[in-house]
Chain A
Amino acid sequence: MRAAEIITAVVILVVGIAMAVDSWTLGSGWGRAGPEAGFFPFWLGVLLSISASALIVQAALTRSVKGPFLSREQLVRVAKVGCPAVGALILIHWVGLYISTALYLAVYMKWVGRHSWRLVLAVSAGTPLLTFVVFEIWFTTQMPKGPLEVWLGY
């Protein structure tokens, strides 16, 4: 837990320094028409670096927080949700939103929930269909599409 605290604070520190440096190169002083573009973000970066440094010191000095950031069991549970979700996002680029969400729902329900095939099929086919009706027909919003929708003429 302490390591996680320190790593997070270090990452924030790096972000803070990057903000300050980026704004510094942009000009963070007083321009012809008032404060320059980098003025506000520069000071944000400086303050963020200060708070992150203080957080690092605080985390290093605290001894009371014990235990790992994530137990193995918890990691597995989180990964079971996180990995398929990221996978579904990658798939959207190839096959579009509808097929991707159908596959994602089916995989998750079968693999994690161990539901019956009938239920899996109903939910994973029904959700994209409902989405299609709501977005493409009611709101006429285009969702990302893949080869199948093109083949169907959309």
Chain B
Amino acid sequence: MHAIEKIMARAAGVPRVGAGEIVTVKVDFAEVNDLYLQTIYSFREMGGTSVWDPEKICFVFDHYAPAPTIRSAQIHKEMRGFVKEQGLTHHFDINTGVCHQVMPEAGIVRPGMILVATDSHTTTHGAFGAFGTGVGATDMATILISGEMWMRVPEVMKIEINGTLPQGTLAKDVILHVMGQLGASAAVYKAIEFCGTYVEGLGVSDRMVLCNMAVEMGAKTAFMVPNEAVLSYVNQRYGTDFEVPVTDDDFEYPLSHVFDVSDLPPQVAVPHRVDHVMPIDQVEEVPVHQAFIGSCTGGRLEDIAVAADLLRGKQIHPDCRLVLIPASSEVFLEANQKGYIEDLMKAGATISTPGCGPCLGAHEGVIAEGEVCISATNRNFPGRMGSTGGAIYLGSPAVAAVSALTGKLTDPRKYWGGESV
């Protein structure tokens, strides 16, 4: 069996599972974000009175943190009421950050667990060797009541990535490239395992970037064999009480792809598809009105460090805004201690509350009709960040930072190491 199948078999209480089988699994942790008040409504409509386990459920207020409208304030209010009424032990209010960042930070995520959240990017937690998957509000309500959900055991697609990245190319470029090659529906209903020499050497943050965007290829979940970096992160925050699932030697992958990223140039996904990807030096000149660095894809300390290194002592272009939103308060504090926030503010950046920000077009930097945004986030669908008449290019935090500097889509390699050409 594959490690993912072993996780599912354990959670289903059976010795074996195989691809295509429908099983009912016990969920180890469930998270509801603040877009999903419907979860509470569905819970009550189904006759729910108390949740299955108040220690295994949390709410995270990230999409509307802090509330930009009266309606979203009302959503937070009703959710806080539910959290109190049910006596949930974990709660992440508007002062914490994006759910996929705050849960690992809080020591909730560990290898081998099944983590379900009302968010498609729950695949992120594959970075920790966990089975993370997204569900909708009513699905989640059934989980809150029963602690279980039915699932089809997915086929596992192996994506092997080898090589060492050249300077100026980041993990985001790698996953954009993979998506561009394989397409947005390459992994619908499937699980993706990322492996290869490149993946084995990655730190926690970069591993999260790859798994985060697995869902943009339709994947149900993502997986990476936990490496030293991940295990020490989990040991510090969660502890050591977990088992690392291991794929059997005789497991045969029904699908596999191999990439070498040794010569990969920085990439961008051009509007309006995540898989319309090309090397940045092949994109024609595009004026940029806003650069956004943030989200569960591009808002971690490493991303902010890259931006600070590229912009320290410089001024962004007068016709371009740079919105920077740390993915969590922990990230924000660290970036502040290291001086990155000061560097970026002096360069002209606008810093906003940890959370999703304009990633899904709710607030804190949405774009107008006719505007172009270069974004370190994960989706460039029409209207995702505001007006449907706007255009979103997806790129690495480095591409976003240097584009803010020049006011047009810019290849960051020219600016690496303090040079500016």
Bound together:
no
Q: Show the binding face of A for B, using Cβ within 8 Å.
A: none
Q: Show the binding face of B for A, using Cβ within 8 Å.
A: none
